[in-house]
């Protein structure tokens, strides 16, 4: 499957399963919301203390599996993850990227000050998947 077609498929959806690799090589799967940017990066909000974040930091090879509602149509993109800095201030670059990601997935938030504070409190950051290949049945 060509990467542009796979990214178009992903752009029409917002939920998928992120696959990272544990230290022993076994996969770890996590249900996530995501957004695909104009730059082709797939962005996911993650928490600094979670296993998927530690896995991606240790081994950046990740994949995202996305299905259609009928379950039979699906696309998998894989590539390498990069992690943003952890949000430490309500107006730092990490928090701004998290705000943009939220807008891409959910739209406007009813209380951006509360959202920004939560991103700092939760130790959130952005996992950016740069897809290098894709497969599936779209």
pLDDT of residue 121: 98
Which domain does 19 fall in, by range? 3-86+124-137
41 found inside a domain: yes
Quick one: pLDDT band at residue 39, thresholds 50, 70, 90?
Answer: very high
40 found inside a domain: yes
102 found inside a domain: no
Write the DSSP assignment of 41-90 as a string of letters.
-EEEEEETTSHHHHHHHH--EEEEEEE-TTSS-EEEEEEEEEE-PPP-ST
33 found inside a domain: yes
Q: What is this structure's pTM?
A: 0.95
108 found inside a domain: no
116 found inside a domain: no
What percent of the chain shows pLDDT beyond 70? 100
Render pLDDT for 60-108 as a digit per residue (tens, 0 to 9): 999 999 999 999 999 999 999 999 999 999 999 999 999 999 999 999 9
pLDDT of residue 7: 97
Q: What is the CATH number of the domain that holds 53?
A: 2.30.110.10
For residue 131, the cross-strand partners are: 79
42 found inside a domain: yes
Count of domains observed in the chain: 1
pLDDT of residue 33: 97
For residue 15, the cross-strand partners are: 33
Distance between CA atoms of 137 and 102, rounded to whole angstroms?
28
Average pLDDT value for residue range 9-33:
97
45 found inside a domain: yes
């Amino acid at each position: 499957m060509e990467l542009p077609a796979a990214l178009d498929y992903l752009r029409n959806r917002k939920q998928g399963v992120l696959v990272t690799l544990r230290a022993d090589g076994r996969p770890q799967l996590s249900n996530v919301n995501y957004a695909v940017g104009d730059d082709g990066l797939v962005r996911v909000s993650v928490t600094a203390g979670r296993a998927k974040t530690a896995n991606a930091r240790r081994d950046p090879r990740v994949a995202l599996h996305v299905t259609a509602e009928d379950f039979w149509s699906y696309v998998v993109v894989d590539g390498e993850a990069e992690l943003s800095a952890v949000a430490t201030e309500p107006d730092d670059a990490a928090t701004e990227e998290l705000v943009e990601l939220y807008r891409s997935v959910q739209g406007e938030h009813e209380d951006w000050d509360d959202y920004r504070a939560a991103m700092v409190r939760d130790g959130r950051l952005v996992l950016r998947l740069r897809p290098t290949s894709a497969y599936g049945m779209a």
